[in-house]
A and B are shown apart, each in its own frame.
Chain A
Amino acid sequence: MARGFQGAVMRGFGARDHDAVVVGTERIAPHFLRVRLRSPTLFQDAVAEPTAWLRFWFPDPDGSDTEHQRAYTLTEADEDTGEFAVDIVLHEPAGPASLWARQAEPGQSIQVMSFGSSKFSVPEEPPAGYLLIGDAASTPAINSIIAVIPADVPIELYLEQHHADDPLIPLTDHPRLVLHRFPRSGPESLAAAIEARDWSDWYVWAGPEAGSLKHLRVRLRDEFGFPKSESYQQAYWSHGRAMGKRRGEKESEPAATAAPEAVAPVVPAAEPRSAAVAEAGEPAAAAQTPADRPAKATRGSWQAAAGGRLLRPLRPTLITAGILQGLLALLQLAPFVLLVELARRLLAGDESDRLWTLGSLALSLLGAGTVLEAALLLWLHGVDARFARDLRARLLGKLARLPLGWFTARGSGGVKKVVQDDTLALHYLVTHAVPDAVAAVVAPVAVLAYLFWVDWRLGLVLLVPVLVYIVTTAIMVVQSGAKIHQAQRWAERMNGEAAAYLEGQPVVRVFGGATASSFRSRLDGYIAFLNEWQRPFIGKKTLIDIATRPGTFLWLLTAVGTFLVVDGGLDPVDLLPFLLLGTTFGARLLGIGYGLSGLRDGIVAARRLQNTLEGRELEVRAPAAAHTGTPHGRVVFDRVTFGYRPGVPVIREVSLSLEPGTVTALVGPSGSGKSTLAGLLARFHDVDDGEIRVGGSDIRELSADELYARVGFVFQDAQLVAGTVRENIALAVPDATDADVERAARDAQLHDRIVALPHGYDTVLGQDARLSGGERQRLTIARAILADTPVLILDEATAFADPESEYLVQQALNRLAAGRTVLVIAHRLHTVTGATRIVLLEDGAIAETGTHDQLFAAEGRYRRLWDASPAVAAAVVLEEATR
């Protein structure tokens, strides 16, 4: 098999051939063929993930034994059966891949390897949108990307058309996909086609032709400002590059591209496969560029770059610290240099007092180094403490102004992560990470420079073990490829299995061995996997260890050094620096990676913190007009539209008016927007369109205190503040009398429980006593009763630990709701059959509204919801059971 240099390199890295047998072919478009194959062993190496691709070795069309390597994206994969598919663009004149694909018959076999594949994944917090750019060749990859992008994230897809049939290639559906197709008129047309707009916070994935990419890259970076971290660019093929004509040892394609075979270009027609002619075609294409190029786009700004903004005030400090740390690293090397000097003087037979001068110099350097290090640490800690204090103060202020929806969207875990973990990571970044990184880099570089200066020949010797290390590590990384991924999956799976096994212990005890056997076999599987993964690397790991240890450096330096002294005219004194500093060079070099890892964590943390600090706040508008005469308790939703992401409304044009003394229930399937709509009234978020008025005033014109004096809410997560029971009940009315507090507690069915606490109303919550879920809920109800707002939002709770607590909460709610404007989010239909009005939401819009009897009789959606609800059925059964 002749696979050329590239094939040999990949083999050296341990890439394995897998035999794949064609199962069938399907013509997806006239020039687009899906080939299904099966290989029982492929998925030991390959991982089916978005944009993952395989390398195929196609036979030479001219019949020589040269094999041509082409890469294709996995479009179907079943890891259990080993079945998979790739899509191949057929073109004229055909290259080896097209030729092979056209003639592919079931049963035919071909060699495939998985080596250096890529993976696309959507981060936890997706970007504002995805800009996807490609053509027929990258369509399979683009389809796999579209499939994993959440439905609420917009996609702008730019496809360069090379063939009249390109539009017939199917694309994955996505509700927010906007497709732009345009023919190629030269390498610049793609870059020019991208809309000039503000792409702030978007992510770009580009897999076009190599020439187009060159121009595209410039436009994305220089005009739009896409940062590196928010972009992935990879040429999928090369226009005019002869593909499949070279043969023998010279066969190879640009190593950097995972290039699927060239798609036959549309323009100019029947392009010859010679590079010279392709280049000749270029001027024509270039002619249109400057004029057609749209006006300069606004450069966007990316949240991904926010970390830099947070740390900007610290930058001078960190740079100074880095310089000082660099000096310090040099100072710590100084004793070794002095030892060399000492040896030199000893050998020269210097007087002993000259030697002692050297000793005192060494001592003073040691002293200076220590003082400098201490001072640096002290200074950085001081800077960090001040920075952290200011940061916390800013965070505190910010948290007080962020919309409440910000907190509900993140949950307590997310808030804690920002406030606690990220400030800690930042502390590490400021006080340790920069000095560590500088020291890790400066020391080996300085050593290397010094030693090269002493003798470059011996300096080169130092690099031999380093080379061994790099090559061996690279081989291991490549061979581990899929295994690293699998190891993560195993770790996650074992974590889940172990948790389930522990949780299932009672079952295991009652039902015995059979119930535990699956866990045991999984455990054996895990150990077998580790064995299979790690064992083959023992030799290489040992090699790395041996190559980088001081003993090896010592031997190398001494052996080569001796020969140089004997034959090469090396002054033996010049060998000394190598013996003193060169032996630990390997260990120093390994430290670089470790020293840099702390920086990354800190920068991610800084980005999250800065994004929090830059989060949108609620503004209070100037009142448009005085509203008098409207009752405080009247609530009007006026054509309210709202979405969490721009362009994706979750509430659409909702108009609704709630009168004092009435109960309005929001019902609807989960995800229909009930909680969101109720949250808008409490100003968890601001509406995108329309307005919400309470007592005649737009809630955006009310200050927070004015708004919450009118609107109260009791939601499922009962928030207690640190303090006594009394303080918690009287939170909104700090000067309430004991009698008021007690009355509210009685109304909330909580008084009896409170007096049973160790210190009654003065019991400190959390410290002296813990309350059950139902009791906490009743406490927040007591708080709302005392706060006495005219408008009230309730979340009818769903699950209770026991029926008794459910009953008490219900009694408390009855008392709280009395005489107010009530908006209730209903999870169980039967609890709101007595509401003044039921509003059925579907997809964020009002679908039906009326009383229970009206809606029930109308036999519409509400009726269907009712009939389908298991809770209702259960309630009916219950009632019958108790009759």
Chain B
Amino acid sequence: MIRTLLSLLPASHRGRVTGYAVLTVGSVLLRAVGVVLLVPLVEALFSTTPRDALPWVAALTAATAAGWFVDSRAARVGYDLGFATLDGAQHDIADRLTRVPLGWFTSRNTATARQAIASTGPDLVGLFAYQISPLAQAVLLPVTIGLALLPIAWPLGLAALAGVPVLLGALWASGRITRRADRVAADANSALTERIVEFARTQQALRAARRVEPARGQTGAALAAQHGATVRLLLLQIPGQLLFGVASQAALLLMAGTTTLLATRGVLDVPEAVALIVVIARYLEPFAVLGDLAPGVETTRTTLGRIRTVLDAPAAAAKGAAAPPTGDSVDVDLRDVVFRYDRSDAPVLDGLRVTFEAGRTTAIVGPSGSGKSTLLALVAGLLDPTEGTVTVGGHDLASLDAESRRGLASVVFQDPYLFEGTIRQNVLAGRPGADDDQLARAMTLARVDELVARLPDGLDTRVGEAGVALSGGERQRVSIARALLKPAPVLLLDEATSALDTENEAAVAAAITHTRQRTRIVVAHRLATIRGADRVLFLEHGRIVEDGPVEALLDSGGRFAEFWRQQHDAAGWRIAEVPAVG
């Protein structure tokens, strides 16, 4: 936890950590002084001349005021460190995310990264002031008090010092037992309720099948059977909740007993003993503080853990040679490419060997899950092949740096992400230095001109967060214009099935057939798109099963021909009354 925290601090703030540590220790010492001053003070109060206590009150006042001063300094430095940590963490995360391989973004890692960005702010800001300081002080204060007691009454000082690990141990064990018991209870609860949720989830099916009563009986019986076991498990909760309380009360009794014993033996005089009893109570306070801090610390650990997960994600080194961006179309070569998302998974692409010739359009067709989008991602350099190589214009993508890779391919994604900004800014992202002619041409081809003409603010219309101000089809057109504007030799299109409307249709067709020479690879679902391609690759289970021009494949009557026929039939399908069979 401390390591993560220190690594998040910008170098400029490292020096302040030392200052912060000094202030924290100073604060502990001042508090300890305040506690020890009680001994002469209380002694004086119980003497025949209570007025003697007044100088000690003055001393206590001085120590307390000094403590306030040190603590407010420490709080200020703590907040500074908190803000620096937040700033450092957020920017480190944002940087890291652009270098993490896309394969890392599993749904779980994505969720972690999202939480690391979105929900850590307030936690980190107050981290030093609310957790680190009290935590350090609560541990150090009892030790310091114990040390200070040694010269006054060494048996008591020893007991106090010995009590520190015992009480900390009790606190730790208590937290651990409670957490485990809570987990067991939560598991038991979800095991019980999951069956009810399942029963509720399938009500339509159960009722339609007239199986409600049997299913209810079974679920009820299962619940009853689990009930007994659950109750026994819940008993685990009790020791955790009792342990620390008992330990600290026992410590109090033990130390008070010691003091009394010393007083009755005459080792301590009575007012001193009374003063020490007060000191003992103060010695125990920090442990209770620690107990209260525990849940907060747990939350912080989770937060820092998330940040750690992102910062520890593998990142592509900024290695590799820079290749001169080639503006003209180039060959794309896949050599024995195998791709797995995870080592243990079945390959998504399995030994692909294919060349996409310069300037030609290839349609990739196949059932869902056959690896079409993965193939595009490999050519775009978004994923790295598990085995084999992908070369573009003779350059092995793996040997290029990120900038050169980026120059080689332009992509139209299935789900077109636009960033908050104007339409113009989004289109220009494809080629920041484009002149007006180039911009106008790309927009005409993608039919963005028609869209812009309709909007009151025209090109300066803001697209909203992630483009929500535009419809799905409009977003798609802007993303096509963006891709067309980018002067990359390879153009990749992932055709969306969900956005089946004519506006996209025309724009996609434009993207494929516009005159500029590029190597084009299109993941295609729609017959109109496929028809425009020079060549079709039919992918199934990560392998190419058919390869050739559209007409030739249709004539051969294989998988592609079947796909074509089904697609045709599905589009024309009608539900109609059919006489009973038989």
Contacts and interface: CB of A to CB of B under 8 A. Distances in A.
A515 B34 contact: no
Contacts of A182: none
A538 B80 CA distance: 10
B105 A505 contact: yes
B344 to A, nearest CB: 16
B575 A814 contact: yes
Contacts of A826: 575
Interface stretch (B12-20, B242-250, B346-354): B242-250
Contact of B288 (A342, A541, A584): A584
A377 B238 CA distance: 7
B205 A366 contact: no
Contacts of B455: none
A483 B432 CA distance: 37
B425 A498 contact: no
Given A419-B197, A512-B429, A527-B90, A404 B203 contact: yes
Interface in B104-137: 105, 110, 113-114, 117-119, 121-122, 125-126, 129
B566 A504 contact: no
A400 B212 contact: yes
Contact of B90 (A359, A523, A871): A523
B278 interface: yes
B430 A511 contact: yes
A512 to B, nearest CB: 6
B231 interface: yes
A352 B264 CA distance: 7
A349 B270 contact: yes
B98 A505 contact: yes
Interface string A249-274: 00000000000000000000000000
Interface string B238-273: 100110011001101100110010011000001101
A362 B213 contact: no
A650 to B, nearest CB: 20
A874 B501 contact: yes
Contact of A802 (B425, B525, B528): B525
Contact of B501 (A374, A587, A870): A870
A875 B110 contact: no
Interface residues of A, number: 170
Interface stretch (A1-9, A11-19, A489-497, A599-607): A489-497
A715 interface: yes
A518 B260 contact: no
Given A378-B238, A551-B34, A366 B578 contact: no
Interface stretch (A51-59, A110-118, A137-145, A390-398): A390-398
Interface stretch (B162-170, B328-336, B410-418, B438-446): B410-418
B230 interface: yes
A623 interface: no
A400 B117 contact: no
A518 B381 CA distance: 24
Interface in B496-511: 497-498, 500-502, 505
A378 B232 CA distance: 10
Contact of A535 (B79, B204, B497): B79
Nearest to A381: B234
A832 B501 contact: no
Nearest to A717: B204
Main SS at interface, chain A: helix
A393 B223 contact: yes
Interface in A799-831: 799-807, 810, 813-815, 817-820, 822, 824, 826, 830-831
Which one of A392, A504, A510, A804 has the highest number of Cβ atoms from chain B below 10 Å of its Cβ?
Answer: A510
B41 A510 contact: no
A377 B237 contact: yes
A719 B242 contact: no
Contact of A498 (B117, B192, B242): B117
B64 A552 contact: yes
B25 interface: no
Interface string B193-213: 110111111111111111111
Nearest to B579: A819
A51 to B, nearest CB: 28
A800 B567 CA distance: 12
Contacts of B223: 389, 392-393, 396
Nearest to A399: B200
Given A407-B204, A552-B64, A661-B580, A381 B429 contact: no
A79 to B, nearest CB: 16
A558 B57 contact: yes
B574 interface: yes
Interface in B406-426: 406, 409-411, 413, 415-417, 419-421, 425
Contacts of B234: 381, 385
Interface stretch (B151-159, B183-191, B514-522): B183-191
A665 interface: yes
B98 A378 contact: no
Contacts of A871: 500-501
B375 interface: no
B51 interface: yes
B117 A874 contact: no
B569 A343 contact: no
A820 B580 CA distance: 7
Contacts of B575: 663, 665, 794, 796, 813-814, 817, 822, 824, 826, 831-832, 834-835
Taking residues whose C-beta sits less than 8 angstroms from the other chain, chain B's interface range is 35 or more
A530 B122 contact: yes
Given A347-B270, A575-B45, A881-B528, A366 B253 contact: yes
B53 interface: yes
A566 interface: yes
Contact of B274 (A343, A389, A815): A343
Nearest to B528: A881
Which one of A496, A531, A572, A873 has the highest number of Cβ atoms from chain B below 10 Å of its Cβ?
Answer: A572
Given A335-B249, A572-B45, A871-B500, A832 B207 contact: no
B465 interface: yes
Interface in A705-730: 705, 708-709, 712-713, 715, 717, 719-722
B82 to A, nearest CB: 9
Interface stretch (B65-73, B356-364, B392-400): B65-73
A370 B246 contact: yes
A719 to B, nearest CB: 4
Interface string B41-69: 11001100011011001001100100110
A494 B79 contact: no
A559 B230 contact: no
B230 A502 contact: no
B60 A732 contact: no
Interface in B425-479: 425, 428-430, 432, 465-466, 479
A68 B42 CA distance: 57
Given A506-B411, A508-B98, A815-B581, A802 B497 contact: yes
B110 A882 contact: no
A427 B235 CA distance: 14
Nearest to A526: B121
B98 A516 contact: yes
Contacts of A731: 205-206, 209, 211
A427 B90 contact: no
Contacts of A104: none
Interface stretch (A23-31, A236-244, A315-323, A542-550): A542-550
Nearest to B198: A722
Given A392-B193, A412-B197, 17 more contacts: A389-B223, A393-B220, A419-B193, A496-B465, A507-B416, A511-B486, A527-B121, A530-B121, A535-B79, A546-B71, A558-B41, A562-B45, A584-B288, A663-B575, A804-B567, A814-B575, A873-B502
27 contacts: A347-B274, A355-B264, A373-B245, A392-B192, A392-B196, A397-B216, A419-B193, A493-B465, A500-B466, A506-B380, A507-B411, A509-B98, A542-B129, A551-B34, A562-B53, A562-B57, A704-B212, A721-B206, A783-B205, A802-B367, A804-B567, A807-B569, A822-B577, A835-B576, A871-B501, A874-B500, A874-B502
